[in-house]
Amino acid sequence: MTKKKTILSGIQPSGKLHIGNYFGAIRQHIAMQDQGDAFYFIANYHSLTSLNDGKKLYQNTIDVTLDYLALGLNPEKATFFAQSDVPQVTELAWILATLTPVSLMEKGVSYKDKIAAGLSPNIGLFTYPILQAADILIYHSDVVPVGEDQKQNIEICRDLAGKFNRAYDGEFLIIPEEYIVKSVAVVPGTDGRKMSKSYKNTIPMFEEGKPLKKVLMSIETDSKALEEPKDPEKDNVFALIKLFADESKQTEIADKYRAGGYGYGHAKLELLELVEEYFADAREKRKELEQDLNYVMDVLTEGGKKARERAESVMEPIREVTGLVRNF
């Protein structure tokens, strides 16, 4: 019997999840829960690099769980848990840190990008890839679905796993492979840059009505007049429309752009309709789940228990080979 591949990915609870999170990661997570042994975690340790509000972090953790369950995560198929419920991950992170050259961290593109975006250059942010590597390696993960911007961090993870295996002369850690969906690797935000909470340019998934309309109407466009023909492939609104519309609808809207007499306001209203329709069922499911928070907490509790069991099985031989537990 062929062993199912272990799939691992995480998401930060640093604020409301948005459509960039959905198309860049969550949609793949939901689809892949049927393709292997899936472990998905809420990266609350990682979020401490930018969020220092305990009550907000706790609420964000609940909100992320609600979002995933509403969007179709099945806790009978996938192990869903909070990162902090698995203490073995920080244990492994320290061990990996002792093998990590400072120069490797200094090359981190993600770190440089976050500092440029205004985040504090703290040590947690600097060593983020080491903890991320531990997140992946502690479950013997085979496949890691991530966004294009995380590709370097997966390479660092693979490098650290190889360093550990060579240092202790054995196959203690599995070398994982990244899984990136190229067509939606970067989802544009309201200002045209990559959608990110750091840039404050996000479109929340579960917003509706006037608040959602206000966000969509703020999407930046060029200054072409209503009557002028427009190139849909150079427009932020159309880039978002393509995520929600089928091929026929995309063609219909693209033709309106090129014909003239179709303004960006019209396109934004069509996008509003598409977004509302796309998330309608999930939005209602989320409202139902909000009335049963005991179930939501049970999902995290059971997921944490299963994750700890897997993590402990990986850590036992590592403690022995490193001498942290006597084996002689």
**Domain match, 157 and 239 both:** no
Look at residue 192 and tell me if it is in a domain.
no
Low-confidence ranges of the chain (pLDDT < 70): 1-2, 181, 183-185, 326-328
The CATH number covering residue 74 comes to 3.40.50.620
**Domain match, 170 and 312 both:** yes
Of 197, 230, 256, 268, the catalytic one is: 197
Q: In this predicted structure, what is the pLDDT of residue 183? A: 63
* Residue 247, CB-side half-sphere exposure with 13 Å CA sphere: 0
The residue to which tokens 């490797």 are assigned: 104
Provide the number of structural domains found in the chain.
2
Identify the helix (H) or strand (E) that includes residue 11: strand 6-11
**Domain match, 273 and 297 both:** no
Q: In this predicted structure, what is the pLDDT of residue 43? A: 97
What is each CA distance from 67 to 13, 27, 58, 282, in whole angstroms?
11, 12, 14, 8
Per the annotation, the verdict on 197 as an active-site residue is yes
Query: Residue 228 sits in which domain range?
Result: 207-278
**Domain match, 50 and 82 both:** yes
Of 3, 151, 194, 305, the catalytic one is: 194
Look at residue 198 and tell me if it is in a domain.
no
Query: Could you tell me the pTM of the whole model?
Result: 0.92
DSSP assignment letter at 256:
H
The span from the CA of 319 to the CA of 198, in Å, is 38
User: Tell me: the pLDDT tens digits for 195-246?
Assistant: 988 789 999 999 999 999 999 999 999 999 999 999 999 999 999 999 999 9
Of 56, 107, 114, 163, the catalytic one is: 114
**Domain match, 183 and 252 both:** no
Look at residue 327 and tell me if it is in a domain.
no
**Domain match, 250 and 115 both:** no
Look at residue 11 and tell me if it is in a domain.
yes
**Domain match, 135 and 252 both:** no
Look at residue 37 and tell me if it is in a domain.
yes
Look at residue 121 and tell me if it is in a domain.
yes
Look at residue 267 and tell me if it is in a domain.
yes
**Domain match, 62 and 179 both:** yes
Per the annotation, the verdict on 114 as an active-site residue is yes
